[in-house]
A and B are shown apart, each in its own frame.
Chain A
Amino acid sequence: MHAMMEGPLWGVIAVASVAGVVAAACFVLMFWFIFKPGEKDPHHPKYEILRRDR
């Protein structure tokens, strides 16, 4: 339908592979931080801003 929808086969495979690995790693990290947020140390900066401001 559109000529630019097609590209060189190995180009498509290379782009899709690299992008796929990076995106998959990012998704793993995202779910890891969602399910295991940690950060229990009371001196963590996320608690400090609640104390410092009025």
Chain B
Amino acid sequence: MQSSPLAPASVTAEDEQALSRVFSAYTLTGTLWLLFGTAVGLLVAFKFGAPDFWAEKYLTFGRLRPIHTNSVFYGFATLMLIGAAYHVVARSCGTRLYSAKLAWLGLWLFNIAAVAGTVALSLGYNYGDLEYREWPWPIRLIFIAAVAVTGWNLLATMLHRASRDLYLSNWYIGAGVLWGSIIAIVAIIPIYQHGLGMMAISGYYMHNAVGMWFTPLALGLFYYAIPKVLNRPIYSYSLGVLAFWTNLMFYPLLGGHHFLFSPLPWWLQTAAVICSVAMIVPVFAGSANYLLTMRGRYHGRIESYPLAFLFIGVLCYLFGSTQGTLEALRSLQDLWHFTNFTVGHSHLTMYGFVTFAAWGAVYALLPLSTGKNPGRFGMATHFWLALVGMGMYVIALSIGGSVQGWDWIQHAPFIKSVTDMKTYYLWRGIGGMLMFVSHIVFAWNVWRMTFGKSGDAPSPIMEPEAESTP
């Protein structure tokens, strides 16, 4: 094997411990944000049924909703994915982390931004109706600094890799931090904060925060964690490369599909619809690759909870993204736009795909890093509560949102579309409750994998098959 242009740093036991501490710290703080953000989300969910409950100005829907979305996006999901990404990049490159200090600096910056953003939103300082970028701009500068520091650290680690080749996970993770930096900077440029330009950039940012930041990071973890757990190589490296480039080609423009039937230029809306349909290529290619890698190991999916989390993550990536393509068609937007169907879709993707991917990666990789396992019962409880809760949530809002849209198409009195949602809001609340309880169990599992007493779960790595490694 040829070596990298830069000499790889030799890995010592201290380096391994430093990497393990970084992975643990990101996972722990991410878990705290998960508990906080979803507790707020649960309160918001119940406000649909009881809008006067806890209606003080600090607890109004308008302040709590962006606190929920921003804390689970930039507190929880970002920290969980980055923590696991540090492990994946260093291990797959056969080198040590470029700088543990930079990793800790990034962790502080991410957390400072999330705390300051939450306080600002609580006090009513909201940057306007710009979804997922409601934090005031000075706070978003702190977030950009955190992404830049993290990107520098991850890319420098890749440059010091032990082999000439760069494993597929690193393509996705490296691209994720580069694309994430670009969209975060574009979203803050002053000339894009007015008029139609603001709306175009809002569509660009809100969807690309999902597709160019969380998605490549989560897919990068899949490409490492799934082969690792199965002890079997990824089905097709080339298919992964195709999915990478087609994701880059089709994703950036599709955010405009949030503004169909708006004053945005016709060509921009149409381009967004076309790109949304073309996204079938990277989504099907990626999903097929993961599922074909798992082929014949159905038994393992039941026995290994890390694999079960990853499997659900892959399925939700496939179904959630395909659902997104359908939603982008003008005929179906007519029915679903502005309804709760979209909220169900965003939870199928950000929760079913990204969150299950992050959990699967943590359960698969954190025990290898710390040498401590969670309890088997704890993992099972977390998995089933989260899965059933999410199922209830998504199904209730998908049906309810369709009913809501149909009421509007029929020109029924608006209040009918509100009262028709009552039952679905209740089911959404029950599903949300199950999801929140599962997060408490997850926090306990994380504690056991880091500082607590190791549990009785078996190694996340399954026995290899004879034909797996030539």
Contact = CB atoms under 8 A, between A and B. Distances in A.
Interface string A14-35: 0110010011001101100110
Given A33-B239, A50-B468, A51-B469, 14 more contacts: A2-B261, A23-B277, A27-B281, A30-B281, A30-B285, A33-B242, A42-B469, A45-B163, A46-B237, A49-B224, A50-B232, A52-B91, A53-B228, A53-B368
15 contacts: A5-B330, A30-B242, A33-B239, A33-B242, A34-B285, A40-B470, A42-B470, A43-B1, A44-B233, A45-B165, A45-B166, A45-B167, A46-B237, A51-B469, A52-B162
Interface in B260-309: 260-261, 266-267, 269-271, 274, 277-278, 281, 284-285, 288, 292
Interface of B is mostly: helix
Interface of A: 2, 4-5, 7, 11-12, 15-16, 19, 22-23, 26-27, 29-30, 33-34, 37-40, 42-54
Nearest to B365: A53
Contacts of B231: 50
Contacts of A49: 91-92, 167, 224, 227-228
B267 A44 contact: no
A54 B231 CA distance: 11
B163 A48 contact: yes
B261 A4 contact: yes
B305 to A, nearest CB: 20
B227 A46 contact: yes
Given A34-B292, A54-B368, A15 B274 contact: yes
A15 B281 contact: no
Contacts of B91: 49, 52-53
B238 A38 contact: yes
Given A7-B267, A15-B271, A46 B233 contact: yes
Contacts of B385: none
B278 A2 contact: no
A23 B165 CA distance: 29
B238 A37 contact: yes
A33 B246 contact: no
A5 B228 CA distance: 48
B270 A39 contact: no
A7 to B, nearest CB: 5
B234 interface: yes
